[in-house]
Amino acid sequence: MAISKARKDELVAQYIELINESNAIFVTEYTGLSVSDLEALREKVREVDGAFYVTKNRLLRVAMEQTNTPVPEELLIGQVAAGFAMSDAPPLAKTLVDYAKKEERLIIKGVVFDGDVLSADGVKALASLPSLPEVQSQLVGIISAPARNLAAVIAGGVRQVINVVDAYAKNDESAEAA
């Protein structure tokens, strides 16, 4: 059943908004997935601040061209659904890869990320990257380690001075007592 010109324009506008708000666009093929399977996947995608839509290939292509986003022609074939990463791309990549492992009918075709088109292997590599909060905590740990070590060295030096003064005071007290 054909859709009207107005509905096509509405979908293109929706795709443009999603593309502008997202950091990455994951292209998948969903042939054979039931509506309940797709809804379960959408719920998992929302949990990682993403969106997942069954798309019309030609309309998605038009939206990508209008936003100067690289168009992955080889990926926009078949029954395509797109995942949009509204914040970090790695958590959405991990969600899609994990879902595709248990549901073989979801095929990850690739991703448009940072102006490049990556294959399914690129998506798997992206899924293995840590999320932004994990990277931030690792960075804080790396930055704070030298400060902790410096504080330990200074505290050790102070303890040694205190021990020497204490030993001298005890030695002086024992000499006075004798």
Do 130 and 90 meet the contact criterion of CB atoms below 8 Å apart?
Answer: yes
CA distance 83 to 92: 8
Partnered with residue 51 across adjacent β-strands are 84
Per-position pLDDT tens, the chain of length 178: 578 889 999 999 999 999 999 999 999 999 888 999 999 999 999 999 999 999 999 999 999 999 999 888 888 998 999 999 998 889 999 999 999 999 889 999 999 988 888 888 888 988 888 777 777 787 787 787 777 777 777 777 777 878 777 777 777 776 666 5
Identify the pLDDT of residue 141: 76
In order of 10, 53, 80, the CA distances from 3 in angstroms are 11, 17, 17
Question: Closest by alpha carbon to 102, among 152, 148, 40?
Answer: 40
User: Would you mind telling me the total number of residues written for the chain in this entry?
Assistant: 178
Do 45 and 83 meet the contact criterion of CB atoms below 8 Å apart?
Answer: yes
Identify the pLDDT of residue 45: 94
CA distance 27 to 41: 14
Identify the pLDDT of residue 177: 65
Q: pTM of this prediction?
A: 0.72
Identify the pLDDT of residue 1: 58
Three-state DSSP state, 70:
coil
Sheet containing 80-85: which strands, arranged edge to edge?
50-54, 80-85, 24-29, 107-113, 116-119
In order of 10, 154, 156, 161, 163, the CA distances from 149 in angstroms are 59, 9, 10, 19, 21
Identify the pLDDT of residue 157: 74
CA distance 133 to 97: 20
Identify the pLDDT of residue 178: 59
